[in-house]
A and B are shown apart, each in its own frame.
Chain A
């Protein structure tokens, strides 16, 4: 057990920092107030991800056979940390390199890999996750959007909600129901978002412009070859994907950076003398570091080739605690930060408040910890 980065890992982190410093515009901090799914940031990311690809730091953690450098989980972590601290200039494309690419590689047909992997590696594609529905949020297996196989095509009818990036995405990673057998009746279909019959409506939100949507599917017809994996295999596949996704966003790093920024602003204003404020700030820092250590313990499991199970839920809940603490600290002691005095703090707040909701609610993480880490007897159904 040792807690220092290697020289190579430090060098990798500096390479990314240098790249960001050289390639982010001077007004980036103000610009990054646009949500990661906003038209402005999506357009920016289409150019920025090309530069990342050219510099070899769009997907260096991917295996060599996928075109990556096979750098491994710690480097993936470092890359994600630096991007997220900077305000995620990759926009929604972070999903591509975190889990969509690896999931395509693991479960996709040759045709799907050929069609979808190349645009990802060139920084030119944007995906959305068609998971939640009005009556299937935390209870995802209750989803009802139906896909019926007719004459070699799937005909899709139903509705999705809370779909991030849907407004500008090219492709939807869509969960559909192909039989009534709850979890075993769910099938993934990769649906081009320009397919006739798809209607997207943006939902105004606290977390920024363009972030969440309703998506309606009315007789949306795609060929059978758009099915991803077998019929009924979706639950297994998204289990694999979500474990990557839960680890994918190192939110604790931005929370910590926002806290440091807030403390600096308080010091500059001469308002960091109170012991109470200092103790609260330290409590927030400790929660950020706690989340960091829990996340790193999960990364280590990846490095060791061990299955990632419920530990990732524990790490994610630790992150939710940190995000909550920092968001509340900033509002309590620096309310002006969210009203124009600091674009960075506002950017953090809008990304931070969603930590307990996105990629599976915090309460679902607690259920998973209770059953799979603590091995408590399950609740009766």
Chain B
């Protein structure tokens, strides 16, 4: 057991911090519902940050740390699937990667666009194909989710089959989502804490009222444990740990997102404050992989058969 970051891990995270610095805040006057940056994505790819899992001395915990760190940015980055799942299927698959449960094409897919690789995971195995324009329908223009999302309207008759264990891909998918949710939870909490510490009512900061302090403190407990469970799941590779990590993160998201908008009052309803970028991404992640119930069943199966 060694829970401190090692030198390599610290170094990689420091690199990401300096590279992502221009993207750490929302551009002035930007009031879009989803923020992306092709330059940031390119820089991450060029510097190999999405390929750390395959580097022997770095591995899956490093990938989880990278995913968690990038999820804290107001800019949405397709890092989770690429850094944690793609290396297990085919490290050369073109990005972005859109992970889809077999038979669940009705749901909006994150980062779906022409050229993206759609990976379908389910009872008939793991298959992939490249999305083309005629397979994609845009989501409603003012979709709230904070990610670029679209719908898959058709799938090709022939897909590339991958000789990998679907259960193992599902496990990695859960860990990737848990790590992404952990970063989103951390950023949303930090953003809320800053606001309620500065905003004054009744002559004092909102954060001095115990009704808010205790809820924020509980949210800290959930956020902290979501981080550690995601890292542990990445480290152990256990099915049970992966399912519990995502279950816990989805459970935490249900709890905190409502609170944070509530604490920000009117400001929490605006697009001028970036909170929605993290909370609506979190909300969409609560629907990932069947949501808490499915994670609970997967954990129960892994723990108790």
Q: How many residues in B have their beta carbons less than 8 Å from beta carbons of A?
A: 55
Tell me, in angstroms, the Cα distance from A291 to B232 when the chains sit together: 13
Q: Does A200 sit within 8 A of B, measured CB to CB?
A: no
Q: Are A377 and B197 within 8 A (Cβ)?
A: yes
Interface hit among B73-81, B149-157, B215-223, B275-283: B215-223
Tell me, in angstroms, the Cα distance from A297 to B196 when the chains sit together: 28
Q: Does B295 sit within 8 A of A, measured CB to CB?
A: yes
Q: Are A1 and B214 within 8 A (Cβ)?
A: no
Tell me, in angstroms, the Cα distance from A264 to B236 when the chains sit together: 25
Q: Are B4 and A300 within 8 A (Cβ)?
A: yes
Collect the chain A residues with CB atoms within 8 Å of residue B229's CB.
286, 289-290, 293
- Give chain B's interface secondary structure class: helix
Q: Are B213 and A297 within 8 A (Cβ)?
A: no
Collect the chain A residues with CB atoms within 8 Å of residue B205's CB.
376-377
Q: Does B204 sit within 8 A of A, measured CB to CB?
A: yes
Tell me, in angstroms, the Cα distance from A222 to B128 when the chains sit together: 80
Q: Are A297 and B3 within 8 A (Cβ)?
A: yes
Using C-beta atoms within 8 Å of the partner chain, give the interface range for chain A: 35 or more
- Give the contacting residue for A300; candidates B2, B214, B220; CB below 8 A: B2
Q: Within the complex, what minimum Cβ distance (angstroms) separates B7 from chain A?
A: 11
Tell me, in angstroms, the Cα distance from A300 to B3 when the chains sit together: 6
Collect the chain B residues with CB atoms within 8 Å of residue A267's CB.
304
Tell me, in angstroms, the Cα distance from A363 to B241 when the chains sit together: 29
Known: A272-B304, A300-B3, A374-B193. A283 touches B204 (CB 8 A): no
Collect the chain A residues with CB atoms within 8 Å of residue B196's CB.
376
Q: Does B262 sit within 8 A of A, measured CB to CB?
A: no
Q: Are A376 and B244 within 8 A (Cβ)?
A: no
- Give the contacting residue for B244; candidates A5, A289, A377, A379; CB below 8 A: A289
CB nearest neighbor in B for A267: B304
Q: Are B300 and A1 within 8 A (Cβ)?
A: no
Q: Are B241 and A380 within 8 A (Cβ)?
A: no
Collect the chain B residues with CB atoms within 8 Å of residue A128's CB.
none
Collect the chain A residues with CB atoms within 8 Å of residue B304's CB.
260, 263-264, 267, 272, 278, 281
Collect the chain A residues with CB atoms within 8 Å of residue B220's CB.
314, 369, 373-374
Q: Are B225 and A318 within 8 A (Cβ)?
A: yes
Q: Does A367 sit within 8 A of B, measured CB to CB?
A: yes
Q: Within the complex, what minimum Cβ distance (angstroms) separates B62 from chain A?
A: 9
Q: Are B228 and A317 within 8 A (Cβ)?
A: no
Q: Does B303 sit within 8 A of A, measured CB to CB?
A: yes
Q: Are A376 and B207 within 8 A (Cβ)?
A: yes
Q: Are A380 and B208 within 8 A (Cβ)?
A: yes
Q: Does B297 sit within 8 A of A, measured CB to CB?
A: yes
Q: Does A275 sit within 8 A of B, measured CB to CB?
A: yes
Q: Does A344 sit within 8 A of B, measured CB to CB?
A: no
Q: Are B225 and A296 within 8 A (Cβ)?
A: no
Q: Does B48 sit within 8 A of A, measured CB to CB?
A: no
Known: A283-B247, A290-B225. A1 touches B2 (CB 8 A): yes
Known: A278-B300, A366-B217. A376 touches B208 (CB 8 A): yes
Collect the chain B residues with CB atoms within 8 Å of residue A373's CB.
217, 220
Q: Are A293 and B296 within 8 A (Cβ)?
A: no
Q: Restricting to B235-269, which residues have a CB under 8 Å from any CB of A?
A: 235-236, 240-241, 243-245, 247-248, 251
CB nearest neighbor in A for B233: A3
- Give the contacting residue for B297; candidates A279, A318, A369, A370; CB below 8 A: A279
Assuming A1-B6, A379-B209, what are 19 further A-B pairs, CB within 8 angstroms?
A2-B235, A4-B235, A6-B1, A282-B298, A282-B303, A283-B247, A283-B292, A283-B296, A286-B299, A290-B228, A300-B1, A300-B2, A317-B217, A317-B221, A367-B210, A370-B213, A376-B197, A376-B207, A377-B207
